[in-house]
Structure 1
Amino acid sequence: MSLITSDLSTHHPIQNGFQLPPLALYVHIPWCIRKCPYCDFNSHAAAAKLPEEAYVSALLSDLEQDLIHVHGRTVTSIFFGGGTPSLFSAQALQTLLDGLEQRLIFSPEIEITLEANPGTFEQEKFAAYRTLGINRLSIGIQSFDDNKLHALGRVHSGSEAIAAVKMARQAGFTNFNLDLMHGLPAQSPEQALTDLQTAIDLSPTHLSWYQLTMEPNTVFWSKPPTLPEDDVLWDIQEAGQALLAKQGFHQYEVSAYTRDAQFAQHNLNYWSFGDFIGIGAGAHGKVSDPQGRIQRTWKTRQPNDYLNPDKPFLAGSSTLATTELPFEFLMNALRLTDGVALTLFSKRTGLPASVLTKGLQRARQRGLLSDDPLRLAASAQGQLFLNDLLHIFLDN
């Protein structure tokens, strides 16, 4: 039986309070030094020379075709993801940023994040990135343990990871995230907490701390390593969250922690069902129009195809059906530990909040949702069983 109430076929988004959400930009740079065995992102081992000029030109042409989705909005954040975007030279990124700013209106407080791996750190290069206006780094550490890094197929060492953080700070970056995994092959709770404490001691403003998972179409999926038992994983999770809280890191999303309210603005926009244009090989986007129609887009995946002028950038798009909107919204918003205001549901989906009534009642009865009637937020129990909570809102 459906837990989404009322007939959604005749809804009127504007009448229900729909507003165009904030707009962000995601830029995908698909090359890495080496493909990691756990990685299911669209990344490819780089050749000796990257086609920087051709790729930057393609990105700007791709954006030109997506300008129809802007609708006069300023861009609140830009995220360079990959792959390893820090393989690109400062000159290439300057050409790209100049081109983006010529075509888009940047918010005065725009957050511009670049993903980087320790093996790509060069002091002069990163100082140049900061001069360009890139004001946030997300550094892919994963572990400080050399044996664990080897098992993960990483190309850097623990000492290089520590040096990279110090170089980032010397280059002028005061806002940076460290990406760290736990539940690594044969990892003990003590080893996981040592990794975490090492990261904390480097004083990042933000930590992404999450469990290694086996994803389809990866080397680890076909040849899985020996991972810790479930009870060990639970011990790591509980002890790690306690350590982070003790050290002043506030958990505001399933795997995101921050000190001094230095939230990842780009990710907050994503989790609150904001819009984002995605450009680059394999990039995904979510865009709305003033009438309340919401569309998912995805770009040509293979870099050679993306660079081929005879092939389109857009691989496909799909308009979200009205019946899909509640689950799509909640799948993002309920990842936030404090949730979102109930009123945001109508602003983002154009649906009356009343369509959630039956699902909200069931979720609260099971203790998976906060009792606050003005917010959509998972309870402490709901955060542990988020998939169970979300499935309550599936249209069965």
Structure 2
Amino acid sequence: MTQNTSAQPLILGGAQTPRAALPVLPPLALYIHIPWCVRKCPYCDFNSHTASKVLPEQEYVDALLADLDQDLHAVYGRELSSIFFGGGTPSLFSAAALGRLLEGVEQRIPFARDIEITLEANPGTFEQEKFVAYRKLGINRLSIGIQSFQQEKLKALGRIHNGDEAVRAAGMARQAGFDNFNLDLMHGLPDQSLDDALSDLRQAIALKPTHLSWYQLTLEPNTVFWNQPPTLPEDDTLWDIQEAGQALLAAHGYAQYEVSAYAQPGRPARHNLNYWSFGDFIGIGAGAHGKLSHPDGRIVRTWKTRAPKDYLNPAKSFQAGMKELTNEELPFEFLMNALRLTDGVEARLYAERTGLDLASLDEARREAEQSGLLQVEPSRLAATDRGQLFLNDLLQKFLS
């Protein structure tokens, strides 16, 4: 499939003072967006669309590879450390389609020997034979969207599976050969009590995933829940859930390494870690975002056409826009990611990943330290426990 590239994408930002050349480029990842779901959930603000009975697998894989071709000039000579299939529900695609796609990607960009390849999947799409085939393709990690095990909560969230199917999905993943998988679980659900939330968490822990994404439901614009808000727990209940849940996870060996991510020893998601430490990633697929560093110091964010019908239209450009980050924007952009990590990052990484002098942060660092939001640690950039709770207040101190 070919795509019209004559239309120039929107470029924001003008000329700026050149930054230092980057001494080493960060790890490179690939995000692949597959935008179709069986049904759109009322809380979801991702770029997802209800699937028709027959998905355009062949056409979409062709488009993804053509999209990747247009980004190759910016990553020549580099290798992929991770790949993440997100959505939507990528597990709606057949193993044959994903296999052709992975083969095409590897022909264009070499894979690291220990590459992590994650596929998002929902329990309602699990078929044992299909997931065995996924594993044979080299996909070595699953992220399973559970959200809750309780039927009334799943119904309120618009999920297509029930609690028994959620439990079976984890077992099927292990039987298919996946010894590394994440469970996505929400708390702060409509009318949820502390006991409800901890019951869900205990059930998830009992399934022994290597990783848990445990995060609070929020009402996002342009969703059904935003326009028709459900009754959510009071703030005191939400706080009790957060505290009790974190204690329960820690007691079972799940260390928190990011605001909403918990992992067994040695099992944090490498793709996520690369993202939060301001690594590079190509984004292909409808609505996908990317961020690429260049040896001359430029750091560019890109985003792709959102609507699947437009993404598949050869007359339209894959790329909807791009923006080169300015010197003034970079401190906030870097720290917005890095400070979500509970241990933060080594301070030296700031200069390595942005091309800016670490000393330029000195005044803001002192103010954040004096406010009790940033750890007093010269060799690291890390939020305190209080800083994690008031992350927006902390980040405001680094706005130009």
TM range, normalised to the smaller chain? over 0.9
CA–CA separation in structure 1 for the residues paired with 2:39 and 2:108: 33
CA–CA separation in structure 1 for the residues paired with 2:175 and 2:360: 52
CA–CA separation in structure 2 for the residues paired with 1:38 and 1:225: 10
Deviations 1:193-212 (A, max 9, x none): 00000000000000000000
Q: Where does the alignment leave 5 or more consecutive residues of structure 1 unmatched?
A: 1-8
Does the 8 Å CA contact 2:338/2:345 hold for their aligned counterparts? yes
Deviations 1:148-178 (A, max 9, x none): 0000000000000000000000000000000
Identity of aligned residues (%): 70
Does the 8 Å CA contact 2:18/2:297 hold for their aligned counterparts? no
Partner of residue 20 from structure 2, selected from 10, 13, 18: 13
Q: CA deviation at 1:371?
A: 1.2
CA–CA separation in structure 2 for the residues paired with 1:245 and 1:33: 35
- The residue aligned with 1:100 is 105
Does the 8 Å CA contact 2:43/2:220 hold for their aligned counterparts? yes
Q: Secondary structure at the match of 1:323?
A: coil
- The residue aligned with 2:396 is 391
1:36-55 mapped onto 2 (5 Å cutoff): 36-55=41-60
- 2:135 maps to 1:130: yes
- The residue aligned with 2:6 is none
Structure 1 vs Structure 2 CA RMSD:
1.0
- The residue aligned with 1:232 is 237
Does the 8 Å CA contact 2:280/2:292 hold for their aligned counterparts? yes
Q: Secondary structure at the match of 2:375?
A: coil
Q: Where does the alignment leave 5 or more consecutive residues of structure 2 unmatched?
A: 1-15
1:293-332 mapped onto 2 (5 Å cutoff): 293-332=298-337
CA–CA separation in structure 2 for the residues paired with 1:175 and 1:301: 31
Q: CA deviation at 1:10?
A: 4.3
Q: CA deviation at 1:18?
A: 4.0
Deviations 1:336-386 (A, max 9, x none): 000000000000000000110011000000111111111000011111111
Q: Secondary structure at the match of 2:282?
A: strand
CA–CA separation in structure 2 for the residues paired with 1:252 and 1:363: 21
Deviations 1:41-99 (A, max 9, x none): 00000000000000000000000001012131110000000000000000000110111
1:204-283 mapped onto 2 (5 Å cutoff): 204-283=209-288
Partner of residue 117 from structure 2, selected from 109, 112, 119: 112
Deviations 1:245-276 (A, max 9, x none): 11111000000000122010001000000000
Partner of residue 371 from structure 1, selected from 352, 373, 376: 376
Does the 8 Å CA contact 2:311/2:317 hold for their aligned counterparts? yes
Q: CA deviation at 1:20?
A: 1.2
- The residue aligned with 2:9 is none
Q: Secondary structure at the match of 2:30?
A: strand
CA–CA separation in structure 2 for the residues paired with 1:150 and 1:43: 19
- 2:183 maps to 1:178: yes
Does the 8 Å CA contact 1:13/1:291 hold for their aligned counterparts? yes
- The residue aligned with 1:289 is 294
Q: Secondary structure at the match of 1:317?
A: strand
Q: CA deviation at 1:237?
A: 0.2
CA–CA separation in structure 1 for the residues paired with 2:104 and 2:383: 41
Q: CA deviation at 1:13?
A: 1.5
CA–CA separation in structure 2 for the residues paired with 1:44 and 1:139: 19
Does the 8 Å CA contact 1:11/1:351 hold for their aligned counterparts? no
Q: Secondary structure at the match of 1:209?
A: strand
Q: Secondary structure at the match of 2:118?
A: strand
- The residue aligned with 1:31 is 36
Does the 8 Å CA contact 1:85/1:114 hold for their aligned counterparts? yes
CA–CA separation in structure 2 for the residues paired with 1:371 and 1:243: 29
CA–CA separation in structure 2 for the residues paired with 1:232 and 1:118: 28
- The residue aligned with 1:86 is 91
Q: CA deviation at 1:12?
A: 3.5
Does the 8 Å CA contact 1:18/1:346 hold for their aligned counterparts? no
Q: Secondary structure at the match of 2:213?
A: strand
Deviations 1:188-232 (A, max 9, x none): 000000000000000000000000000000000000000000010
CA–CA separation in structure 1 for the residues paired with 2:23 and 2:273: 19
Partner of residue 356 from structure 1, selected from 361, 369, 379: 361
Return the letter of the residue paired with 1:316.
Answer: G
CA–CA separation in structure 2 for the residues paired with 1:380 and 1:132: 41
Return the letter of the residue paired with 1:65.
Answer: Q
Aligned residues: 386
Q: Secondary structure at the match of 2:329?
A: helix
CA–CA separation in structure 2 for the residues paired with 1:224 and 1:140: 22
CA–CA separation in structure 1 for the residues paired with 2:17 and 2:363: 19
Q: Give the alignment's TM-score, normalised by structure 2.
A: 0.95
Return the letter of the residue paired with 2:127.
Answer: E
Q: Give the alignment's TM-score, normalised by structure 1.
A: 0.96
